[in-house]
Amino acid sequence: MFPSVLRAGRLTACLLALCSAQFCAAALTPVEPTALPQSGDANLATRLASYAGRPVLVNFWASWCEPCREEMPALQALADRGVVVLTIAVADRDADARRFLDQAGVALPLLFDREQRISKAWGVRLLPYTVVLDGRHRVVARAQGVVDWNATAVREQLQRLMR
């Protein structure tokens, strides 16, 4: 996913595409609350500051990643129910990411991480990758891979984590 292994990152995304969300759903794994990773990205800092006091679900994805594309409608549904969802397009062309979101009818906030500075600082190794932040913007959970956001158990867990 990082510049030297971008092709391998795409291969990983392609391998994940063999799994559909219903058969290969990733787990939302709670972690001890930890400080927000510092990437030095001003756009991310500004966006997160605009959500001060509110929990945020941060999703790292790419338009060329089929599992990421599969997950987007469910993330939009979460946002429609009041969850703050921030998406970060990793190693992607701005136009491709915007085009996919437009065509999919997804209207989620979008940041770009073309140089993978944010994803590297946040420990992203595989797409999609999701980080749940509590109201103090501490990391409280992570998920590597597609999460079945429509599953009742996942939504209940997310609600507990975002209190």
pLDDT, tens digit, 9 for 90 and up, residues 108-137: 999 999 999 999 999 999 999 999 999 999
pLDDT at 24 (0 to 100): 58
Stretch 93-97: mean pLDDT: 97
Band (pLDDT 50/70/90 cuts) for residue 25 is confident
Q: Residues of the chain with pLDDT > 90: what percent? A: 82
Those residues whose C-beta lies under 8 Å from the C-beta of residue 63, and which sit 6 or more positions away, are 69, 89, 92, 93, 96, 97, 99, 100
Taking residue 92's Cβ as centre, other Cβ atoms within 10 Å add up to 21
- Measured torsion, CA atoms of residues 65, 67, 69, 72, in degrees rounded to the nearest 10: -140
Band (pLDDT 50/70/90 cuts) for residue 21 is very low
Contact between 86 and 47 under an 8 Å Cβ cutoff? The reply is: yes
Question: CA 101, CA 105: separation in Å to the nearest integer?
Answer: 6
pTM: 0.86
Is 146 in a helix, a strand, or coil?
coil
pLDDT, tens digit, 9 for 90 and up, residues 41-67: 999 999 999 999 999 999 999 999 999
How far is residue 74 from each of residues 78, 79, 91, 100, 138, measured CA to CA in Å? 6, 9, 22, 15, 23
Question: CA 58, CA 109: separation in Å to the nearest integer?
Answer: 10
pLDDT at 113 (0 to 100): 98
Stretch 83-95: mean pLDDT: 97
Phi-psi sector, 48: left (phi>0), alpha (psi -120 to 50), beta: alpha
Question: CA 133, CA 36: separation in Å to the nearest integer?
Answer: 8
Tally of helices (H runs) and strands (E runs) in the chain: 6, 6
Stretch (H or E) spanning 112:
strand 110-113
Q: Residues of the chain with pLDDT > 70: what percent? A: 85
pLDDT at 11 (0 to 100): 34
